[in-house]
Structure 1
Amino acid sequence: MLSMRLCLADLQEPRWRTEGGRWINGESWIEPANVSALVMEVNDDRAPRVRVRVKECKREEADFVELTMEPGQACLSAGVFGTAPLYLAERAGVLHASWDLTLLRPHLRADRLVPRVVARTLTRQHRYASETLFEGVHRLTERASATFTSSGLRIHHPEPAEHVLEPRTLRPGVDPLAALDGLLTEVIRQAPTATGCVGVELSGGADSGNVALAVKAARFFEVHSFGLLMGGSVGRQQEERRRALVEHCGFHDTAIPAMQHPPFCPDGVRALCKPHDPAGAFYQEAFDVVREQAASRRCEIMFTGSGGDEINAHHSRRQAELPTPEPVPWLGDKAVRALAEVNEHLAPIPVLPVPTLMAFGMHNPGFLRAGVWPVSPLAHPRIVRFMEQLPHEHKHGKALFRERIRQAGLPEWVAAPAEPENFLTVLEKGLRSYGLPVLDDMLRESVLVDLGYLDPKALAQARDGAAAAPVIPDLLCDALALEVGLRSLM
C-alpha cells in the first residue's frame, strides 16, 4: 500500500520531510496509496532508526506493511491480510517498491521472464509465491519480510500458518447462524470510513448477498451497490435477485451490463495498450467500469464477497489435492520444460486461503488506482477460522450462507438460485469479437512465440479451430492476455 525509492546512502542521515504527499529524504521518497481509508505513520523518535507503518485508519489489527530503516539496512514486513500486493526490485543500491506493478516498468523486461511463472500463467496453474513473471521483481507475500542491504535484497518467509485441520462438533445450544451474523457484522463495523459513504459489490450470489445484509445492519451513512449483469436468461435471473437484495437493503444501485465491456473490448485497458499487469484478471475491463463508478460516487471503501467460495470449501488441509490441469496444446518447448517446476519456490501456507490472496493481487490494485479501498469481510482471519471449524453440513452448498438470506426474509430464488451467474458468455463474446484479431496479430508477431513459450503452428491450428467452433476454448484467453500485458509494458 506504499510506493518508494530507497537509496542506502540516504539512510546514513535520516532527515525525512513531507512534500506533496510524499516523505522525502535526499534522493529517497516514500508515498502511501492515495486512499482515504489508509494512514501512513512515520516514527523517527529513535533516529537514526525510522519506522514507517501503513494501516487502516480505524482498525487496530496487524499493519498491512511496515518499513524499518537504519544506517546500512532497511527491512519491509507484510501483515496477514494481503489486501494488495507489494512488488520489490533492487538495482545499484536502490530499492524500488510499489503496490502498482506498472510503476516498476524500468525493471520489467519481457526478455527476462521467469519460465515457471509463465508456465503457471499459460496453464492456469497459478501459485502464491514471491516470484513474479519478471526476473528480479519480487512480491512480498503475507507475513514475509525483505531485508535490503549493500549485499542486495533478501526475502525471508515465515513459518506456515496454523489451521484447523478438520471441522469440529458444535457444542449443544450453539447457533452457527447467529455466530456468523455477529462476526460478519462486527468485522464490517470496523470499516475504515470517515464519511460513511461505502460501496458493495453485489452480484446477486450468496457471498455478496451475505456481505450486503451485514452492511445494511452496520447502518452506514450512504451505501451504493454495484453489479455486473451477465446478460441472457441467466442475467435476467441475476438482475431479479439483485433487485430483491437492493430493495431489501435500501442501497443506491448501479448495474453495469458486462456484455458491453468484455475482455479485449475496444475501449478497455488491453485494446488501448495501457500499461497493466500481464497477470491481471480476465474481466479487468468490466471491473474497471465498476471501480470508476464507485470512485465517481465518492465511495471510500468497497465491500466485496471475495473469499466466500474458499471458506465454504470442504477438504482436509492434510489431504487437499490440486485439480488436474487442462492440457494446453499451444505451449512452446520452453513452457513445457518449465511445467516440471510449477510447484517449486512457493510461499508457506498463509493465514487466508491461497486463491483469495491471489484474487486480491489481480483485482485490488485497480481499486487503489481509483482511490477506493477494498474490504473483503469473508476473508477476515476471524471468519476464516470460524468457517474452518464449522461442520461440513453448514458449508456444503453454502448452506449457512443461504439460510442467512432466507432468515432475512428474502425468497428462495434469491437464497438458492437454480442457475447462478457466471462470466462464460461474456468471455466468449470477448474472445470471438475482439480476442481472435489479437490472436491473428500474434501469429504475425509475438513476444511469447519468440521466447519459446508458445508454439506458432499449434497456435495457428487453434485459430483455425476457433473460427468454426461453437465455443472458443477459454484457455486461449490466458495466452492472449499475457501477450497483450507484456506488450503494454515494453
Structure 2
Amino acid sequence: MLKADIALSDLSLNAEWIDGSITWGKSRITPYPHSMLEMLLVRTEGQWFVIVRERHASVPLGSIAASRDVDADEFKRLYQESLLWPLDYVMIEVARAGSRIRVRAGVFGSVPVYCRARNDQVTVSWDFGDFTTSPLAIDTEIASHQLALHTFYSARQLCVGVTLLTERASFSVEPGKANYQYPAPVQQTVSSPLPKGRDALAMFSELLHRVVSARPIAADRVSLELSGGKDSATVACAMTAIHGRMSSKGILLDGDVRRPQIQRRQSITSRLGLFDHTVEMAAFPPSLDLQRRPGQSRGLNREYYLEACSALWDSVRAEGRDLLFTGIGGDELFPAYVDETQIKNGKESGSQEQEEASRYAMQLLTPRALSAAHTLRSFDAPDSPVTATALLAHACRGPDLLRHGLWPVNPLSDPNLIAFCHQLPREYRQGREVMRQYLHARLGSEVFPRGYTKETFAQVLPEQISRHAQTIALQLRDCALADLGLVDQRAALTLLDTVAVTRGQVPTAALASFLWLERCVRQVS
C-alpha cells in the first residue's frame, strides 16, 4: 500500500507534502497511487502519523491525500479512528523525541508490506524487489521448511533481515534497536446454533452483500475474476446483485475439465449479464526457466501461473478498469472441525496425497535440511481473523496486481464473513451448503450440481515439466540449493525424471516447490 525510505536522523525535521509524497530531509513515504486508496497525514506537537487505507463507502470521495495539524485531543481521536479503520491499511507513526517510528498493519493483509532496518535506515515496501539491489542472505531454516512443503504464515521470511508485516502486527525502530510485535491470537471459533428465527441463507446473503458494498464502487472501473468455480461465482452473484452488469475475466484450461468449465462459465455469464473475456492457458503456459531474466519481478511467494494471469490483468487495464474482485478465501470459509473429520485407517480423509507429496519432498533434502525441517516452528504468526492460507494467497498475488495497476478486493477473505461462516452449524458448512443454496437461488440448481466437475490447474505443471524436462535438467547442473547444503542434486534430477515420465500430480507438488525455491534463491543471492 505504500513505500518508505526513512532515515532516523531525519525525524527531527518537519514532514511536508511534495509531489504526492511525504518528504523530510532525505526521507520519503509514497502511497501506491490508486483511486481506492487514500492517505492522511496528522501532525501535532512532537509526533505525527500517516495512514494509507482503503476508502470506505461511508466516506465521500475526495482528494487522495489530506493533511491536518491538530491539538493533542484531536490527534488521539484520529489515531484511534485509524487503528479501528474497517478496511485495510498501513500506518507509520513517528515520535520526534528519541527518533522513533512504528509501522502497523490492518487485519486484511490485501497487499502486505515488507520491512528492513539497517543502521540508521528503515525501508518499507509492498514490492520485495526494492530490497534486492544487493545480494541477500538466505535463511536456511525457512528454506528447509518450505522445501518440506510446510505451509506457514510468518514475519520471518526467506531472506535474512527482510520482515513481512503480518496482519495486525507492528514493527518498531529507534536508534540501535528494532522490535517486531505479533498481535494477540484471535479466539478459536466453534460451531454455534443459529439465532432463533434466523435463516442461514438469508444471513449469509445479507452479510456477503454488505461486504461487497463496503467500498465506493463504480461498475465501469471493476472486473471480476471468474474461474467457473463456486467461489468466484459467489462473488460475481453478489456484485451483480448490488452493482448491476460488469466485466468478468477468466483463464480457460485444456484437458478433461475444459468443456464443463466453458459450459459453466457460459451459464454464469449469461444469467448474470456479464461482459466476459477469457485467456487460454495454452497460449500463456507457466515459465519453468530457472535463470534470472532482465526486468523480471522478484517475489518471495510462488505464482506459477503468472504468465496467464498477467495476460488477464492486462486485458482488465485495457478496458480502463483498475479494481479486481476475486474469489480468494472461499476454500477457507467452511472448515471441518476435529470432531467432524472422517477417519479412514487411522488417517484423516484427504491426507494421503499430502503425506505422499511430503515423502517425495523429504527425499530431496540433505541431512542438514531434514534436521531443520523437523524442528518445531517457533516463528509462525498467531491465529488471525483472516485464515493464514488466504493471507498467503494475498501476499503471493497482491504485488503483481499492483504492478499491473490493479487494486485487489477479496470479499470471501473478509474477517466478518469468515467469523460468521466458521460458526455455522455443521449442516451449513459441510459441502459448502449455504454457498450452494446461495448459488442455486441466483443461477439455478443445474449450474453447480453436487459432484460437478471442478476446474483445476492440477495437470498444467506436470505436462509443462515433462515437456521441458531436458532444459530443466541442464539448468540444474548448477543448483543453488545444493550449494547451500539443503538439497541432494542427484535426488532432484531423479524426481524430475519421475515427473517427466509419470506426469503424476503428487510428485509434481514436491518438484514444483523445489523449482520455485531454486529460482527464488538464484534471483536474490
Partner of 1:284: 306
Higher mean C-alpha displacement, 453-462 vs 86-95: 453-462
Higher mean C-alpha displacement, 288-297 vs 150-159: 288-297
Structure 2 residue ranges without an equivalent (≥5)? 58-84, 343-347
The 4+ residue runs of structure 1 with deviation greater than 6 A are: 268-273, 317-323
> What is the SS of the residue equivalent to 2:287?
coil
Please say if residues 253 and 280 of structure 2, whose CA atoms lie closer than 8 Å, have aligned partners that are also in contact.
yes
Higher mean C-alpha displacement, 389-398 vs 469-478: 469-478
Partner of 1:312: 334
Q: Quick check: 1:178 aligned with 2:202?
A: yes
* Separation (CA, whole Å) in 2 of partners of 1:341 and 1:230: 39
Judged with a 3 Å threshold, the aligned counterparts in structure 2 of structure 1 residues 79 and 274 are, in CA distance, closer, same or farther, namely same
Paired residue for 1:295, among 317, 333, 337? 317
Q: Please give the residue correspondences for 1:72-471 in structure 2 after superposition, counting only pairs within 5 Å.
A: 72-106=99-133, 109=136, 112-164=137-189, 166-193=190-217, 196-219=220-243, 223-264=246-287, 274-316=296-338, 324=355, 326-327=358-359, 328=361, 329-341=363-375, 343-416=377-450, 418-434=452-468, 436-442=470-476, 444-471=477-504
Please say if residues 55 and 63 of structure 1, whose CA atoms lie closer than 8 Å, have aligned partners that are also in contact.
yes
Partner of 1:30: 29
Instruction: Give the superposition deviation at 1:378.
Output: 1.1
Partner of 1:55: 53
Please say if residues 4 and 124 of structure 2, whose CA atoms lie closer than 8 Å, have aligned partners that are also in contact.
yes
Please say if residues 264 and 270 of structure 1, whose CA atoms lie closer than 8 Å, have aligned partners that are also in contact.
no
Instruction: Give the superposition deviation at 1:421.
Output: 0.8
* Separation (CA, whole Å) in 2 of partners of 1:269 and 1:192: 42
* Separation (CA, whole Å) in 1 of partners of 2:116 and 2:179: 11
Please say if residues 244 and 410 of structure 1, whose CA atoms lie closer than 8 Å, have aligned partners that are also in contact.
no
Counterpart residue type for residue 418 of structure 1: Y
> What is the SS of the residue equivalent to 2:197?
coil
Higher mean C-alpha displacement, 53-62 vs 32-41: 53-62
Q: Quick check: 1:481 aligned with 2:506?
A: no
Please say if residues 278 and 481 of structure 1, whose CA atoms lie closer than 8 Å, have aligned partners that are also in contact.
no
Please say if residues 278 and 484 of structure 1, whose CA atoms lie closer than 8 Å, have aligned partners that are also in contact.
no
> What is the SS of the residue equivalent to 2:138?
coil
* Separation (CA, whole Å) in 1 of partners of 2:469 and 2:378: 32
* Separation (CA, whole Å) in 2 of partners of 1:385 and 1:52: 30
> What is the SS of the residue equivalent to 1:428?
helix
> What is the SS of the residue equivalent to 1:299?
coil
Instruction: Give the superposition deviation at 1:334.
Output: 3.2
Counterpart residue type for residue 394 of structure 1: Y
Higher mean C-alpha displacement, 392-401 vs 59-68: 59-68
Give the alignment's Cα RMSD to 1 decimal. Answer: 2.5
Instruction: Give the superposition deviation at 1:273.
Output: 7.0
* Separation (CA, whole Å) in 2 of partners of 1:482 and 1:317: 36
Counterpart residue type for residue 215 of structure 1: M
Instruction: Give the superposition deviation at 1:428.
Output: 1.7
1:304-363 CA-to-partner distances (Å, cap 9, x unmatched) read 111111111211599999965612111233321210236221111111111111111111
* Separation (CA, whole Å) in 2 of partners of 1:286 and 1:47: 51
* Separation (CA, whole Å) in 2 of partners of 1:383 and 1:147: 31
Judged with a 3 Å threshold, the aligned counterparts in structure 2 of structure 1 residues 341 and 14 are, in CA distance, closer, same or farther, namely farther
Instruction: Give the superposition deviation at 1:29.
Output: 0.7
Structure 1 residue ranges without an equivalent (≥5)? none
Higher mean C-alpha displacement, 463-472 vs 210-219: 463-472
> What is the SS of the residue equivalent to 1:226?
strand
Judged with a 3 Å threshold, the aligned counterparts in structure 2 of structure 1 residues 404 and 70 are, in CA distance, closer, same or farther, namely same
Instruction: Give the superposition deviation at 1:192.
Output: 3.8
* Separation (CA, whole Å) in 1 of partners of 2:420 and 2:148: 33
Instruction: Give the superposition deviation at 1:436.
Output: 5.0
Please say if residues 228 and 286 of structure 1, whose CA atoms lie closer than 8 Å, have aligned partners that are also in contact.
yes
Alignment size in residue pairs: 482
The TM-score, its normalising length taken from structure 1, stands at: 0.92
